[in-house]
Amino acid sequence: MSDSKAIFLKDAAVNAADGDQRAFIRKALGGYYTNRDLQKARYRDWERARDAASLAKWSAVNDLANVLEKFTANFERNGGVVHWARDAAEARAIILKIAEDAKAKAIVKSKCMTSEEIHLNDALEKAGYGVVESDLGEFIQQLRGEAPYHFVFPCMHVKREAISELFTKHLGTAPTDSPEELTMIARRHLRQLYVDADIGITGANFLVAETGQISITENEGNARLTAALPRIHIALSGIEKVVNKLDDLSVLLPMLATAGAGQPMTCYNTLYSGPRKKGECDGPEEFHIVLLDNARTRLLADPEQRDALHCIRCGACLNVCPIFKNIGGLAYGTTYQGPIGSVITPHLRGLKQWNHLSGASSLCGACTDACPVRIDLHHHLLHNRRNAAKESPTLFDRVFHHGFNFVIKRPWLFATGGRIFRATLPLLQKLPLPYMGAGMKTRDLPKAPSQSFRDQWKHQNV
């Protein structure tokens, strides 16, 4: 068993048994469902809008080289600097070099999952920079010393009392149980940090090839401030975020907000095309973009699952996933939690170590229905299972399934085996058999009938 699987099994078991925490998560998502449905109802045809969103991403991903070339040419024409990183280490090195050249001291970040993916904060802190996450949820998780729980709602599992204690401990503020007051504490604390920071680091939700702009989606205004006040703006983005046309955003931005947060649009959807231009009064002097591969091209090379690169990181698949809701986001041990994380992590970080996430699904398909860009999520979990069985078969699985197959390809053996199975079921339930023992721990089996269907059918129809 891989380490990551052992940790997963342990954490998932603990969390799945924590009824209070599970109820807290379900309650927190309640408002999301209501608002999402209200917003979806405003679409004159949500299903067809999903088609349009899916096609916009499909056409860019399947022409990635050309679209990226166009994006970077336009980005440079606008006065930005493009950097390429094959992997996480290269991306960290590029950002460290920019900070060093700028003689920076303080860095403010807005929410960027790609930076979590490359463990950027650790690297910057080790190099002696002060790094502050400015998104409220990320700020709270940074103070807690914990990874984001959900890649859109980073601290949705933390109760207000815990946040109040955290702020008292780190910021010296008086305890309060009001989410509003807690938000204002963070607001006051972070404002001066934006003003003082030398570098602002953001992610990017979309890279627009046609215009060389990057698009950032947020609600709080922290990304706006991060890209407005510091002298240098660095955006870190996966290469798959590119879209062909500015016009594609007319579908993608509203759908991202509706699917992800139940909003018509998030509060701020901002397009940046370079550093401060001549005649503009503020904005950074330098604008860098770091374009990261980090095994995305490995996923690209799998045409069956290439659509996973359509992902716009809205988090809708997490919000509807019964696995996520019951085990929580931290148990995954991945940057990207939930169904999309279970699909892509084996490609990004190794199938052998991460295939258990694809196994940990009832394949209910709620994720696939929720995905605004129509990623075939739950079927890809099946594809990962198949690939893993082929790549690194386990002896137990081979024996079990071939044994089962040996029985079911012989109807007489199946019937005889079934008869024995039914007759000895009360006894079998007491034995520590693989699968059955675990299944029976919390659930009863129906009383076995004395005759199978095929026996009764034979008697009825002689």
Partner 1 sequence: MRVSLFVPCFVDQLTPKVGLATAKVLKRLGHEVEFRSAQTCCGQPSFNSGQWDVAREAAIRALEVFRGAEVVVGPSGSCVAMMRNFYPELLKGTPHAAEADDLAARTFEFSEFLVKKLGVTDVGAKFAKKVTYHDGCHALRELRLKEEPRQLLRAVKGLELIETDEGDTCCGFGGLFSAKFPMISTAMVQVKGGALARTGADFVVSSDPSCLLQIGGWLSREGKPILPLHIAEVLANDA
Partner 2 sequence: MSDARSDIFARIREALKVKAPKPHLKTDANPGKTSEVAKPWLPDGGETADASLAILSEQLAKLKAVLIRVPDQAAAVKAVAELASSKNWKKVAYHGHDLLRPVASGLSCETWEADATFDKQRLEGCDAGITTCESIVAQLGAILVSSATSGGRALSVLPHVHVVVAEASQVVPDLGSALALAKARHGDQMPSMLSFITGPSRTGDIERILVLGAHGPKELYLVLVG
Which residues contact partner 1 by CB under 8 A? 9, 12-13, 16-17, 19, 22, 26, 322-323, 325-327, 359-366, 368-369, 382, 384-390, 397-398, 401-402, 404-405, 407-409, 411, 414, 418, 421-422, 434-436, 438-439, 441-446, 448-449, 451-454, 456-458, 460-461
- Residues contacting partner 2: total by CB under 8 A: 114
In whole angstroms, the minimum distance from the beta carbon of 120 to partner 2 comes to 17
Q: How buried is 152 (Cβ within 10 angstroms: 0-12 exposed, 13-18 middle, 19+ buried)? A: buried
Residue 322 CB neighbour total at 10 angstroms? 12
Nearest approach, Cβ of 149 to partner 1 (angstroms)? 17
CB of 428 to partner 2, least distance (A): 42
Nearer to partner 1, 140 or 327 (CB): 327
Pairing of strands 268-272, 213-218: antiparallel
**Toward partner 2, which CB reaches closer, 8 or 272?**
272
**Closest separation in Å from C-beta 334 to partner 1:** 16
Q: How many CB atoms lie within 10 A of CB 327?
A: 23
User: CB–CB of 141/133 below 8 Å?
Assistant: yes
What is the smallest separation between the CB atom of 88 and partner 1, expressed in angstroms? Answer: 29
Within 258-287, the residues that bind partner 2 by CB under 8 A are 261, 263-277, 279-283, 287
How many Cα atoms within 13 Å fall on the side-chain side of residue 295?
14
Choose which of 2, 14, 23, 42 interacts with partner 2 (CB under 8 A). Answer: 42
What string marks each residue from 61 to 80 as x (binds partner 2 by CB under 8 A) or -? xxxxx--xx-------xx--
Out of partner 2, partner 1, none, what residue 19 binds, judged by CB under 5 to 8 A for its kind, is: partner 1
Work out whether 20 is an interface residue with partner 2 (CB under 8 A): no
Q: Quick one: which of 277, 236, 256 has its CA closest to 85?
A: 236
149 contacts 337 by C-beta, under 8 angstroms = yes
Smallest gap, in angstroms, from Cβ of residue 16 to partner 1?
Answer: 4
- In this complex, which beta carbon is closest to partner 1, that of residue 11 or of residue 76? 11
Which is nearer to partner 1, 8 or 153 (by Cβ)?
A: 8
**Which of 15, 121, 205, 222 forms a contact with partner 2 (CB under 8 A)?**
222
Instruction: Record the tokens describing residue 178, joined without a space.
Output: 């009001």
> Which SS3 state, helix, strand or coil, does residue 115 take?
helix
Task: Quote the CA–CA distance of 314 and 111 in Å, as a whole number.
Answer: 13
In the list partner 2, partner 1, none, the entry touching 364 (Cβ below 5 to 8 angstroms by class) is partner 1
Min separation Cβ 54 and partner 1, Å = 17
Q: Which of residues 397-416 bind partner 2 (CB under 8 A)?
A: none
Q: Which does 422 bind (CB under 5 to 8 A by kind): partner 1, partner 2, none?
A: partner 1
Cβ contact 260:21 at 8 Å: no
Select the binding partner of residue 177 from partner 1, partner 2, none (C-beta < 5 to 8 A, by kind). none
Strands 213-218 and 206-208, sheet pairing: antiparallel
Nearer to partner 2, 60 or 123 (CB): 60
Query: Residue 243, Cβ neighbours under 10 Å: how many?
Result: 25
142 part of the interface to partner 2, by CB under 8 A: no
- Residue 141 or 384 with smaller CB distance to partner 1: 384
Which of partner 2, partner 1, none is residue 337 near (CB under 5 to 8 Å by kind)?
none
Contact between 384 and partner 2 per CB under 8 A: no
C-alpha–C-alpha distance, residues 312 and 375, integer Å: 10
Q: How many CA atoms lie within 13 A of 363 on its CB side?
A: 9
269: enclosing H helix or E strand? strand 268-272
Please state the closest distance from residue 431 (CB atom) to partner 1, in A.
14
Could you tell me the CA-to-CA distances from 80 to 73, 75, 223, 356, 398 in Å, in that order?
10, 6, 18, 41, 54
- The first and second tokens of residue 200, run together, are 């602002």
Calculate the alpha carbon distances from 83 to 87, 227, 236, 295 in Å. Answer: 12, 18, 9, 17
Selected from 54, 114, 121, 335, the binder of partner 2 by CB under 8 A is: 54
Using the rule CB under 8 A, is 301 a contact of partner 2? yes
Task: Choose the contact partner of 188 out of partner 1, partner 2, none; CB within 5 to 8 A by kind.
Answer: none
Pick the binder of partner 2 from 21, 22, 58, 106 (CB under 8 A). 58
Handedness of CA 444, 450, 455, 457 (dihedral sign): negative
The one-letter amino acid at 291: L
Cα–Cα distance between 350 and 332 in angstroms, integer?
Answer: 14
Q: How far is the CB of 442 from partner 1 (least distance, A)?
A: 4
154 binds partner 2 (CB under 8 A): yes
